[in-house]
Amino acid sequence: MKKRKFGLVLSSVLAASAILGACGTKEEEKTKNENENASSGESNQEDAFSVAMVTDVGGVDDKSFNQSAWEGVQAFGKEHNLKKGDGGFDYLQSKSDADYDSNLNALLRRDFNLIYGIGFMMEDSISAIAEENPDNHFAIIDAEVKADNVVSVLFKEQEGAFLAGVAAAKMSKSGKIGFVGGVDIPVINRFEAGFFEGAKAVNPDIEITSKYTAAFDKADLGKVTANSMYSSGVDVIFHAAGATGNGVFSEAKERKKKDPNANIWVIGVDADQYEEGKVDGKTNVTLTSMLKGVNTAVVDISNKAKKGEFPGGETLTYGLAEDGVKLADSRGAIPEDVLKVIEEYKEKIAKGEIKVPEKVKK
């Protein structure tokens, strides 16, 4: 009887040991798999490169400068199969200049690898926060910040604006053209200077009215300013005013709708603003747009940074020679003979035969 009991106990112990051994093996395999998955996840996280931007007050949908930058960020994200949000790509919108610092810091806390400050007005914020965070990478568009962890991106707006001036002077029937600027800062001064130089190059007698609205986000100011100019006889307006320029388009379209035969034109800025000029299915007031390759620059710099080639401490400048600025397709609004003149000046500027000033000659 005792022997039988002992045998039963021994069998139970052996069975339990087998079960525990099997469980131990499964647990070890599970732990191993979890560790491998975690390791793989960490590797994927390391391979990912996240990019984000902070807009200036014009907003991400200004149909101009900020929108072009955001399109570049999105294009980079699509190229690398990233999703919008943490670990991928994103933006924060600034409603006022008081938001710049807080938005930049918010993106830092979310661990984005590269953060863009869009616009000259963000220069001080990028400079201060880059100094406080030397291990993070930043990029500033339209301003220059001297720091090893910041790449500065500038454009020769005056060269592209020169071509816009040629187009405006050639297409004007009244001999009066206008320039609507946003805030009176160096980058907008370059637009104005180039526009004046180009117009005067083809028509020394052209009359040019210039007005700064002191805002990049006030479409109502753009509309009022355009109304005043068109009422004075101006028939072509070039705007470099961000979302304020949307008001210029509104005024031009209203006038064209009332008088389809009126010679009323707008030259857009930064992005192709053809869609903004649509009056109806057949009529459009957009003569052309002066394009800045902000989106191209964003993609280029982001890819360099991802490959470990971040150009920190450098200032990259894009002009006509670098295809950084140019005029958009006029879709037939500008006749061939005028396009030929524009092309001739484009080649001379790209070759350095013409040096376009950065400020209007007084």
What is the DSSP secondary-structure string of 68-137? Answer: HHHHHHHHHHHHTT--BSTTSEEEE--SSTTHHHHHHHHHHHTT-SEEEEESGGGHHHHHHHHHH-TTSE
CB atoms within 10 A of CB 280: 10
pLDDT of residue 47: 64
Task: Please report, for the chain, how many H helices and E strands are present, in that order.
Answer: 10, 12
What whole-number distance in Å separates Cα of residue 209 and Cα of residue 232?
A: 10
- Phi, psi at residue 225, to the nearest 5°? -65, -45
pLDDT of residue 331: 96
Cα-based distances in Å from 207 to 215, 229, 289, 293: 24, 12, 21, 30
Most distant pair of Cα atoms in the chain: their distance: 126
**103, 123, 155 - which closes a domain:** 155
Q: Which SS3 state, helix, strand or coil, does residue 341 take?
A: helix
**134, 155, 176 - which closes a domain:** 155
Task: Please state whether beta strands 207-212 and 265-270 pair in parallel, antiparallel, or not at all (unpaired).
Answer: unpaired
Of 178, 331, 153, residue with least CA distance to 245? 178
Q: Is residue 75 part of a domain?
A: yes
Q: Residue 57: which CATH number?
A: 3.40.50.2300
Tokens of 256: 């064209």
What whole-number distance in Å separates Cα of residue 320 and Cα of residue 346?
A: 7
Domain count across the chain: 2
Q: Is residue 12 part of a domain?
A: no
Same domain as 117, residue 62: yes
- pTM of the predicted model, to two decimals? 0.82
pLDDT per residue of the chain (362 residues) written in tens, 0 to 9: 444 443 444 344 434 444 444 444 444 444 444 444 444 333 344 468 999 999 999 899 988 889 999 999 999 999 999 999 999 999 999 999 999 999 999 999 999 999 999 999 999 999 999 999 999 999 999 999 999 999 999 999 999 999 999 999 999 999 999 999 999 999 999 999 999 999 999 999 999 999 999 999 999 999 999 999 999 999 999 999 999 999 999 999 999 999 999 999 999 999 999 999 999 989 999 999 999 999 999 999 999 999 999 999 999 999 999 889 999 999 999 999 999 999 999 999 999 999 999 999 86
CB atoms within 10 A of CB 296: 18
pLDDT of residue 230: 98
Same domain as 190, residue 67: no
**111, 140, 155 - which closes a domain:** 155
Same domain as 233, residue 129: no
Task: Please state whether beta strands 114-118 and 89-92 pair in parallel, antiparallel, or not at all (unpaired).
Answer: unpaired
DSSP secondary structure letter of residue 355? P
Q: Is residue 146 part of a domain?
A: yes
What is the DSSP secondary-structure string of 164-220? Answer: HHHHHHHH-SSSEEEEEESS-SHHHHHHHHHHHHHHHHH-TT-EEEEEE-S-SS-HH
DSSP secondary structure letter of residue 321? T
Q: Is residue 312 part of a domain?
A: no
Tokens of 359: 């400020």
Of 131, 198, 144, residue with least CA distance to 169? 198
Same domain as 342, residue 231: yes
Q: Is residue 145 part of a domain?
A: yes
Which H or E element spans position 34?
helix 2-47
pLDDT of residue 42: 39
Q: Angle at Cα 89 formed by Cα 87 and Cα 90, nearest 5°? A: 115
Full strand arrangement of the beta sheet holding 207-212? 207-212, 176-181, 236-240, 265-270, 286-292, 325-327
pLDDT of residue 362: 67
Domain limits for position 94: 48-155
Contact 188, 240 (CB under 8 A): yes
